[in-house]
Amino acid sequence: MTILSEKRPTTPDVEPDVTIDVAHLEHLLLGRWAEVRREAREFLRDPRLHRDESLPMAAHRERVLEQLRILAREGDVLRAFPSRLGGADDHGGSLARFEEVITADPSLQIKAGVQWGLFASAILHLGTEDHHDRLLPGAMSVDVPGAFAMTETGHGSDVASIGTTATYDPDTEEFVLHTPFRAAWKDYLGNAALHGTAAVVFAQLITARRGEQPVNHGVHGFYVPIRDPQTGQFLPGVGGEDDGLKGGLNGIDNGRLHFDHVRVPRRELLNRYGDVAADGTYSSPIASPGRRFFTMLGTLVQGRVSLDGAAVNAAKIGLTVAVTYGNQRRQFAGPGNDEVVLLDYAEHQRRLLPRLAHTYAAAFAHERLLQAFDGVFSGASDTDEDRENLETIAAALKPSSTWLALDVLQASREACGGQGFMAENRMTGLRADMDVYVTFEGDNTVLLQLVAKRLLADFAAHFKDADTGAMARYMAGRAADAALHRTPLARVVQTLADGGDVRRSVGHLRDAETQRELLTDRVETMVEELAQAVRPAQKAPRDVAADIINENQHAMIEAARAHADLLLWEGFTAGLAKVEDEGTKQVLTWLRDLFGLTVIERNLAWYLIHGRLSAGRARSVSSYVERLLRRLRPHAQDLVDAFGLAPEHVRAEIATGVEAQRQDEAREYYRRLRASGAMPVPEKSLSPERRRA
Amino acid sequence: MTILSEKRPTTPDVEPDVTIDVAHLEHLLLGRWAEVRREAREFLRDPRLHRDESLPMAAHRERVLEQLRILAREGDVLRAFPSRLGGADDHGGSLARFEEVITADPSLQIKAGVQWGLFASAILHLGTEDHHDRLLPGAMSVDVPGAFAMTETGHGSDVASIGTTATYDPDTEEFVLHTPFRAAWKDYLGNAALHGTAAVVFAQLITARRGEQPVNHGVHGFYVPIRDPQTGQFLPGVGGEDDGLKGGLNGIDNGRLHFDHVRVPRRELLNRYGDVAADGTYSSPIASPGRRFFTMLGTLVQGRVSLDGAAVNAAKIGLTVAVTYGNQRRQFAGPGNDEVVLLDYAEHQRRLLPRLAHTYAAAFAHERLLQAFDGVFSGASDTDEDRENLETIAAALKPSSTWLALDVLQASREACGGQGFMAENRMTGLRADMDVYVTFEGDNTVLLQLVAKRLLADFAAHFKDADTGAMARYMAGRAADAALHRTPLARVVQTLADGGDVRRSVGHLRDAETQRELLTDRVETMVEELAQAVRPAQKAPRDVAADIINENQHAMIEAARAHADLLLWEGFTAGLAKVEDEGTKQVLTWLRDLFGLTVIERNLAWYLIHGRLSAGRARSVSSYVERLLRRLRPHAQDLVDAFGLAPEHVRAEIATGVEAQRQDEAREYYRRLRASGAMPVPEKSLSPERRRA
Tens of pLDDT, residues A422-470? 999 999 999 999 999 999 999 999 999 999 999 999 988 877 655 444 4
pLDDT (tens digit per residue) in A250-293: 999 999 999 999 999 999 999 999 999 999 999 999 999 999 99
Query: How high is the pLDDT of residue B670?
Result: 96
Q: Domains in chain B, ordered, with CATH? A: 26-296 (2.40.110.10), 301-675 (1.20.140.10)
Chain A closest-CA separation from residue B90 CA (Å): 32
Chain A closest-CA separation from residue B24 CA (Å): 33
Chain A closest-CA separation from residue B373 CA (Å): 27
Helix count (H) and strand count (E) of chain B? Answer: 26, 14
Q: What is the mean pLDDT of residues B159-163?
A: 95
Smallest Cα–Cα separation from A311: which of A237, A215, A409, A423?
A: A409
CB A314 within 8 A of CB A102: yes
What is the number of other CB atoms lying within 10 angstroms of the CB of residue B270?
Answer: 25
Yes or no, beta carbons of B439 and A346 under 8 Å apart: no
- Residue B331 backbone phi and psi in degrees, to 5: -155, 135
Yes or no, beta carbons of A680 and B214 under 8 Å apart: yes
What is the number of other CB atoms lying within 10 angstroms of the CB of residue A428?
Answer: 24
Yes or no, beta carbons of A421 and B156 under 8 Å apart: no
Report the alpha-carbon distance of residue B460 to residue A104 in Å, rounded: 54
Mean pLDDT, rounded, of chain A: 91
Count Cβ atoms within 10 A of the Cβ of residue B516 and give its class: 0-12 exposed, 13-18 middle, 19 or more buried: buried
| Residue of chain A with shortest Cα separation from B184 | A666
Report the alpha-carbon distance of residue B526 to residue B531 in Å, rounded: 9
Query: How high is the pLDDT of residue B285?
Result: 97
Smallest Cα–Cα separation from B330: which of B688, B665, B40, B14?
A: B665
| Residue of chain B with shortest Cα separation from A56 | B56
User: What separation in angstroms does the CA of A370 have from each of A316, A478, A678?
Assistant: 18, 19, 63
Smallest Cα–Cα separation from A369: which of A477, A489, A482?
A: A482
Pairwise pLDDT comparison (A247 vs A338), residue with the higher score: A247
pLDDT (tens digit per residue) in B337-382: 889 999 999 999 999 999 999 999 999 999 999 999 999 999 999 9
Count Cβ atoms within 10 A of the Cβ of residue B32 and give its class: 0-12 exposed, 13-18 middle, 19 or more buried: middle
ipTM: 0.93
Coil/strand/helix, residue B210: coil
The H or E element that residue A532 is part of is helix A512-534
Label residues A466-483 b or e (16+ Cβ within 10 Å = b): eeeeeebbbbbbbbbbbb
Out of B246, B423, B618, whose CB is closest to A246?
Answer: B423
Query: How high is the pLDDT of residue A691?
Result: 65
Smallest Cα–Cα separation from A436: which of A52, A54, A110, A108?
A: A110
Q: What is the mean pLDDT of residues B638-652?
A: 98
Smallest Cα–Cα separation from B324: which of B12, B103, B652?
A: B652
Report the alpha-carbon distance of residue A205 to residue A218 in Å, rounded: 6
Q: Which positions in chain B touch A407 (Cβ < 8 Å)? A: none
Q: For residue B7, is pLDDT > 90? A: no
The H or E element that residue B339 is part of is strand B339-341
pLDDT (tens digit per residue) in B652-667: 999 999 999 999 999 9
Q: What is the mean pLDDT of residues B387-392?
A: 96
Report the alpha-carbon distance of residue B458 to residue B483 in Å, rounded: 12
Q: Please report the residues numbered 251 through 310 in chain B whose beta carbons come closer than 8 angstroms to any beta carbon of chain A.
A: 281-282, 287-290
pLDDT (tens digit per residue) in B544-569: 999 999 999 999 999 999 999 999 99
DSSP per-residue string spanning B108-164: HHHHHIIIIIIIIHHHHHHS-HHHHHHHHHHHHHTSS-EEEE--BTTBSS-GGG---
Least confident of B178-192, B570-584, B606-620: B606-620
Q: What is the mean pLDDT of residues A353-357?
A: 98
Strands B198-207, B146-149: pairing kind: parallel
Smallest Cα–Cα separation from A432: which of A651, A652, A248?
A: A248
Give the model's confidence band at A170: pLDDT under 50 very low, under 70 low, under 90 confident, else very high. very high
Strands B681-682, A215-225: pairing kind: parallel
Query: How high is the pLDDT of residue B300?
Result: 87
Chain A closest-CA separation from residue B615 CA (Å): 5
Out of B290, B533, B618, whose CB is closest to A605?
Answer: B618
Report the alpha-carbon distance of residue A568 to residue A358 in Å, rounded: 8
Yes or no, beta carbons of A334 and B244 under 8 Å apart: no
CB A224 within 8 A of CB A203: no
Q: What is the mean pLDDT of residues B498-526?
A: 77
pLDDT (tens digit per residue) in A103-135: 999 999 999 999 999 999 999 999 999 999 999
Three-state SS across A633-648?
Answer: HHHHHHHHHCCCCCHH
Chain A closest-CA separation from residue B245 CA (Å): 5
Distance of CA A175 to the CA centre of its chain: 37
Q: pTM score > 0.95 for this model?
A: no
Report the alpha-carbon distance of residue B217 to residue A465 in Å, rounded: 82
CB B528 within 8 A of CB B643: no
Report the alpha-carbon distance of residue B254 to residue A424 in Å, rounded: 14
Mutation to test the B interface, candidates A3, A55, A178, A181, most B Cβ within 10 Å: A181
Output helix, strand, coil percentages for chain B, rounded to the nearest 5.
60, 10, 30
CB B123 within 8 A of CB B132: yes
Pairwise pLDDT comparison (B73 vs B211), residue with the higher score: B73
* A-B contacts (CB, under 8 Å): 347
Give the model's confidence band at B472: pLDDT under 50 very low, under 70 low, under 90 confident, else very high. very low
Yes or no, beta carbons of B1 and A555 under 8 Å apart: yes
Yes or no, beta carbons of A683 and B248 under 8 Å apart: no
Three-state SS across A145-206?
Answer: CEEEECCECCECCCHHHCCCEEEEECCCCEEEEECCCHHHCEEEECCCCCCCCEEEEEEEEE
pLDDT (tens digit per residue) in A30-75: 999 999 999 999 999 999 999 999 999 999 999 999 999 999 999 9
Query: How high is the pLDDT of residue A461?
Result: 84
Distance of CA A440 to the CA centre of its chain: 11
Smallest Cα–Cα separation from B354: which of B595, B642, B56, B178?
A: B595
DSSP per-residue string spanning A647-683: HHHH--GGGTTHHHHHHHHHHHHHHHHHHHT-PPEEG
Residue B623 contacts A where some CB pair is shorter than 8 Å: no
Query: How high is the pLDDT of residue A287?
Result: 95
pLDDT (tens digit per residue) in B117-143: 999 999 999 999 999 999 999 999 999
Smallest Cα–Cα separation from A364: which of A94, A30, A13?
A: A30
Q: For residue A197, is pLDDT > 70? A: yes
Out of A422, A610, A684, whose CB is closest to B289?
Answer: A684
Mean pLDDT, rounded, of chain B: 91
Report the alpha-carbon distance of residue B35 to residue B39 in Å, rounded: 6
Query: How high is the pLDDT of residue B631?
Result: 97
Coil/strand/helix, residue B348: helix
Q: For residue A477, is pLDDT > 80? A: no
Query: How high is the pLDDT of residue A504?
Result: 44
Q: For residue B492, is pLDDT > 50? A: no
Q: For residue A246, is pLDDT > 70? A: yes
B219 beta partners? B204
Report the alpha-carbon distance of residue B118 to residue B125 in Å, rounded: 10
The amino acid sitting at A686 is L
Query: How high is the pLDDT of residue B592?
Result: 98
pLDDT (tens digit per residue) in A626-643: 999 999 999 999 999 999
The amino acid sitting at A470 is A
DSSP per-residue string spanning A239-276: EEEE---BSS-TTS--EEEEESSEEEEGGGB--SS-EE
| Residue of chain A with shortest Cα separation from B550 | A346
Report the alpha-carbon distance of residue A665 to residue A659 in Å, rounded: 10
Yes or no, beta carbons of A681 and B213 under 8 Å apart: yes
